[in-house]
Amino acid sequence: MIAKNMQDLVNNSSTIRAMFEEGKRLKKLYGEDKVFDFSLGNPNVQAPKQVEDAISELIKEYPSPILHGYMNNSGYEFVREKIADHINQKQGTDLAAENIVMTVGAAGGLNVICKTLLDPGDEVVVFRPYFGEYRAYVSNVGGKLIEVSSNSDTFYPDLEDLEKKISSKTKMLIINTPNNPTGVVYPEDFIIDLCSLLEAKQKEYQRQIYLISDEPYRELVYDGLFVPYLTKYYKNTIVAYSYSKSLSLPGERIGYLVIPKEVEDAGEVCAGINVATRILGFVNAPSLMQLVVAKCLNAKVNIEFYEKNRNKLYEGLRDIGFECIKPQGAFYLFMKSPMENEVDFCELAKKHNILMVAGSSFSSPGYVRLAYCTSYETICNALPAFKALAKECGVGK
């Protein structure tokens, strides 16, 4: 029999699994092009050509022990140095190889951070709506998740609520901008206010409060929007970056953590992260992929593809009469459920072959999330189905 704790986790993850199965069932029944699956954040955009070229070159360039061997748990030093230089050029930071640890995607990085920083009972603040996996990452090591609400018009976190929720047990906050599931990018003045509140709270409690910036969507922004680099606003910031979305490589499991020297106890934190990488069983990030990303630092996926999808879906849904805010980044659209219970709304949508994720998965009932990393045709073909769905729930003219 599996652990009680794991039974709960299995039961709680059943909605997304069920959605996946439902998608497969509907596609078999009606055909791939008749099912409008907006449930999963699995990029439909090709990885850049440089990735394929880099793999071919690397296989010829490096002898096997380097290409496929173990290395320092933090990753290849020359790869970390190249990444540090690249961030310095883009963000004007002062990072070196020792400030970078290669990770198994952002998920691996976040688990490593939780293992390194949290004692049982330590509190981790998250902003609703948030990526539901944070719950497990924090509870894996006995931490306690504290939810802070967001403004319902802008989806910016509510700083008054945050002020009340930070306690002497708060060890870290997780922030995610561009955001999954809202697509919102937090502006610089909000970041400045957030960071000054954190500074004040660190002083009040005489304890470090780490700001963890979860950034898998940093490169996916529209309309030339500025995404502040948080290490420049608050000293105790650790960045969890990933190539899953920026290079369309989610199955390759590659990303990195940034621990700037300004972080208090940076040396100890890095040593902890290095050990956590090993003992959580990652051992190190995939060796070939470390070498690949070092060759592809300036490569980009086709952002215009996502932007075209965003425009079509947002404008289409708004014209039909649904309420949603225009995503500024990532590839998610958060829509208000016209029915009181958004789970019922998702069920009704399935009858129109539309698959979406209920907001309760992100701790925000009353909304649904649509991942528009689909083909453009899927969006065009889905709009009449959304129109029929709207009619059935009394939305629009």
126 contacts ligand PLP (rule: CB under 6 A): no
Binding mask 136-175 for ligand PLP (x = CB under 6 A): ----------------------------------------
Closest to ligand PLP by CB, 180 or 202: 180
Rounded-to-integer distance, Cα 23 and Cα 12, Å:
19
User: Could you tell me which stretch among 21-29, 44-52, 102-110, 354-362 binds ligand PLP (CB under 6 A)?
Assistant: 102-110
Closest to ligand PLP by CB, 48 or 109: 109
Least distance to ligand PLP from the beta carbon of 10, Å?
A: 20
Give the H or E element holding residue 134: helix 133-139
Rounded-to-integer distance, Cα 123 and Cα 146, Å:
6
Closest to ligand PLP by CB, 263 or 289: 289
Binding mask 264-283 for ligand PLP (x = CB under 6 A): --------------------
Contact 331, 371 (CB under 8 A): yes
123 contacts ligand PLP (rule: CB under 6 A): no
What is the bridge-based pairing of β-strands 123-127 and 170-175?
A: parallel
Whole-number Cα distances in Å, 256 to 39, 75, 102, 148, 317:
26, 9, 4, 27, 36
Closest to ligand PLP by CB, 332 or 386: 332
Residues 206 to 225 in contact with ligand PLP, rule: CB under 6 A: 214, 216
Whole-number Cα distances in Å, 127 to 123, 151, 215, 310:
13, 10, 15, 24
Candidates 19, 106, 294, 320; binder of ligand PLP (CB under 6 A) is 106
User: Could you tell me which stretch among 100-108, 155-163, 188-196, 374-382 binds ligand PLP (CB under 6 A)?
Assistant: 100-108
Closest to ligand PLP by CB, 150 or 353: 150
Residue nearest to ligand PLP (CB): 105
246 contacts ligand PLP (rule: CB under 6 A): no
Q: Which residue has the tokens 């970390």?
A: 80
Contact 381, 36 (CB under 8 A): yes
Least distance to ligand PLP from the beta carbon of 28, Å?
A: 26
User: Could you tell me which stretch among 103-111, 259-267, 293-301, 303-311 binds ligand PLP (CB under 6 A)?
Assistant: 103-111
Rounded-to-integer distance, Cα 115 and Cα 270, Å:
12
Rounded-to-integer distance, Cα 290 and Cα 101, Å:
11
Number of residues that bind ligand PLP (CB under 6 A): 13
Residue 60: Cβ-neighbour burial (10 angstroms; 0-12, 13-18, 19+)? exposed
Rounded-to-integer distance, Cα 28 and Cα 60, Å:
42
Residues 26 to 65 in contact with ligand PLP, rule: CB under 6 A: 41
Contact 329, 220 (CB under 8 A): yes
Candidates 38, 127, 131, 306; binder of ligand PLP (CB under 6 A) is 131
Give the sheet arrangement for strand 332-336, strand by strand. Answer: 332-336, 367-371, 357-358
Task: Give me 23's structure tokens.
Answer: 């998608």
Closest to ligand PLP by CB, 320 or 368: 368
Whole-number Cα distances in Å, 21 to 12, 16, 352:
16, 9, 16
132 contacts ligand PLP (rule: CB under 6 A): no
Closest to ligand PLP by CB, 75 or 105: 105
Candidates 99, 111, 244, 361; binder of ligand PLP (CB under 6 A) is 244
What does the binding site for ligand PLP look like in residue numbers (CB under 6 A)?
A: 41, 105-107, 131, 176, 180, 214, 216, 242, 244, 250, 255
